[in-house]
Amino acid sequence: MKKKKSIDIIFIIIVMLILLIGLVSVYSSSYIEAGEKFSDPGFFLKKQSVWAIIGIVAMFIVSTIDYHFFVKNSRNFLFFFFILLVLILFLPDEARVKGANRWISLKYFKIQPSEFVKFIFVWYLAFFFGKTENILNIKKKIFNPLFIFVALAVVILLQPDLGTVFVFAFSFFVILFIIGLEYSYLFSLLFFGIICFISAIYIKPYRRNRILAFIDPWAYRYDLGYHIINSLIAVGSGGLSGLGLGASRQKFLYLPEPYTDFIFAIICEETGFIGASVILVLFATLFLRGWYIIRKAPDISGFILGLGIITTITVQALINMGVVLNLFPTKGLPLPFISYGGSSLLILFINTGIILNISRFRHEKG
């Protein structure tokens, strides 16, 4: 093994293509609402572009930093953001957005700590299971990361944010499966997780309502199912090739905030099945290229780190698109690199930089 002089250009190109589609889609889906609210059709595009520039700069800086830095310091990062998650719970009611305490508002921007935590937890898993003794005694050592996961999950659920918990729970499960946890333990964790997931839905009326809207949105077309129905109308209107870029009808204040979690619906409406397929192919290619990089990682911590990152990104993308198509209940998860949102874009680019740094150290063969 020897250090490579260049980062993986193909991975960068894929990410940049997705980002470019995202910026175009943010403008196309937001200029009506931006004009109505801020008298500036490009308001959301400008803010997203600033975050994109910051994110790209962060990506290239991180790509020069040995990924072991993030692995070794993962506990410190995790502790810091855990404190932020707890502090958010004590913010006054006027700081809530749609009934949720998920953001810390600063003068010029907002930070959503849970967006960072779902990746930083993966960094911690790379640290913990990167130790040979923990891999060899995984059955005995599993309780440490499991305890940390439960603590994070409880705090995030109190915000409340079930979607984020689901994403990094899935990544946790995939990592445990790949590193060889016995099936009996895996199925026990899966069973326990399903029970907790169902309980989390049952104790919150709005989550039960989302299930009802998911099962039969047309029965609740004027309230619970309004969002998903307008999403399905947008998708159905697109047909094979779409109505044309910028020609969406649902963004005319029918589909609420179409530039965030439901931006994929506008993409489907304007570019049709062809455009939607391009998005799917790009994310599939991103995963496959990421897998190509991480399977050549020089150590187990690099492999686990990269696996957790690409799994988190891919699963979140699939869930987001599934929600738009009513294949999953509404989760409130952004489409990676495409949906409007600064915190999401920044942490995505930081983790892209980590993947690129792993690519510098990958084996020449194998």
Q: What is the DSSP letter of 73?
A: T
pTM here is 0.91
- Above 60 in pLDDT, residue 102? yes
- Above 50 in pLDDT, residue 40? yes
Q: Which of 105, 91, 114, 120 is nearest to 163 (CA)?
A: 114
Sign of CA dihedral 159, 161, 166, 167: negative
In a domain, 39, yes or no: yes
CB contact at 8 A, 123 and 294: no
Q: Which of 207, 169, 200, 155 is nearest to 332 (CA)?
A: 207
So what's the pLDDT on residue 114?
86
In a domain, 366, yes or no: no
Residue 22 belongs to what domain range? 9-361
In a domain, 144, yes or no: yes
In a domain, 4, yes or no: no
Burial label, 253 (beta-carbon count in 10 A; 0-12, 13-18, 19+): exposed
Rounded CA separation 228/212 (Å): 12
Q: Read off the pLDDT of each residue in 223-231 and give the average, rounded to a whole number.
A: 83
Average pLDDT, the chain: 87
pLDDT band at 175; cut points 50, 70, 90: very high
Question: Residue 97 pairs with which residues in a beta bridge?
Answer: 100
Rounded CA separation 271/209 (Å): 31
pLDDT single digits (tens) 242-273? 898 888 888 887 788 888 889 999 999 999 99
In a domain, 1, yes or no: no
pLDDT single digits (tens) 282-311? 999 999 999 999 998 989 999 999 999 999
pLDDT single digits (tens) 62-78? 999 999 999 999 999 99
Burial label, 3 (beta-carbon count in 10 A; 0-12, 13-18, 19+): exposed
So what's the pLDDT on residue 145?
92
- Above 60 in pLDDT, residue 95? no
Total domains present in the chain: 1
